[in-house]
Amino acid sequence: MNICFIMYPWENITPQSDSTLRMIHESVIRGHRVAITSGANLTIRDSLTMAFCKLVEEKSKHSSVPETFYKQAKFREQMLPLAGFDVIFMRANPPLDTIVLNFLDSVKDEVLIVNDVQGLREANNKLYTAAMNDAAQSITPRTFVSKNKDYLLKVVKESDSRKMIMKPLNGFGGSGVIVIEKDAMQNVNSLLDFYITGKGGETNYVILQDYVDGAEEGDVRVMMLHGEPIGAMKRVPAEGDARSNVHAGGKVQKHTLTREELRACRLIGPKLVKDGLYFVGLDLIGGKLIEVNVLSPGGIVNINKLNKVKLQRRIIDWAEDMVHHRSMAHSRRFELRQTVSNA
């Protein structure tokens, strides 16, 4: 296969913990042709969507150790048509550059894009979770989103809970996630001013969520592939921090999904597949869905270490199967059209 990773700069990778590196490495050692690029390197040439790519140079043998592979990898640069790839993995860090999706629109019917262009449009921020149509709050906590400070203050005052979670709509990696308390409304008022007021007079959306019991003990990151959980880990906040994200200082522990967590995965999985969100990370607390991470979800390395597995193998296995089925379907359609044309 020909595989392209649209991602963050290669030199910014932390090889000991990077999930994308594991997927690239697995693809290369299987003999697939692998290219990496970034959203800024997409371009149009003769009305074709192209990319300035770095192709991993082929060798007789690559190191079986991802960190060593990273140090030794050599590239050659070339402008290549995106339609020439079998798979494109979107692994850029949030926030999503919607112009990149406009480029990908031109090849979405020809290439398997993980995740789907329209799915990324719908789910690239936290509104996707808030709009799960879970009126009974069986798998999502009550969620409120607005730019209206007076409304958000009213939500906090009328909440039955003493605590709530506040976060910016477009934050990632745990940035801006805080616990607020009704007993400190003066602070809440000031925080809303800070969160809502943007640069140049712009205003930002703020999310308020019910505080889920057990949140202080951390959350569970679940890796989902084609609507099914393939691995999980518990993330425990650093002392004095409400955030469980590893980048924010959280620690990881081995975790077996509970009945409630498996139920949430089963309920969410079909919607993810329907929306073309094939490879995502779910964040769960107490069996409740807190976030769906669709851009460059991480956790592969830690889950691998905790469970002595290699999730990247399952991911590339799945991509190979998907490309094979698409190729077979295309060949079948061609044969049937030929039958009609020759009749």
Which residues are tagged catalytic? 126, 167, 221, 235, 243, 283, 291, 293
Is residue 289 within 8 A of residue 123, CB to CB? The reply is no
Q: Does a cis peptide bond (omega within 30 degrees of 0) precede residue 95? A: yes
Ranges of beta strands (E only) in the chain are: 2-7, 33-37, 42-45, 48-56, 75-81, 87-91, 112-114, 143-146, 163-168, 178-181, 206-210, 219-225, 228-236, 251-254, 279-285, 288-293
* CA 279/CA 277 separation, integer angstroms: 6
Q: What share of the chain is helix, strand, coil (3-state, %, to 5)?
A: 40, 25, 35
Helix/strand/coil for 26? helix
List phi, psi (to 5°) of 206. Answer: -120, 140
Is residue 126 within 8 A of residue 169, CB to CB? The reply is yes
Q: Distance between terminal CA atoms of the chain?
A: 35
* CA 69/CA 260 separation, integer angstroms: 40
Q: Which structure tokens are listed for 318?
A: 């799945």
Is residue 136 within 8 A of residue 127, CB to CB? The reply is no
At 303, which helix (H) or strand (E)? helix 300-307
Q: Which structure tokens are listed for 180?
A: 């607020």
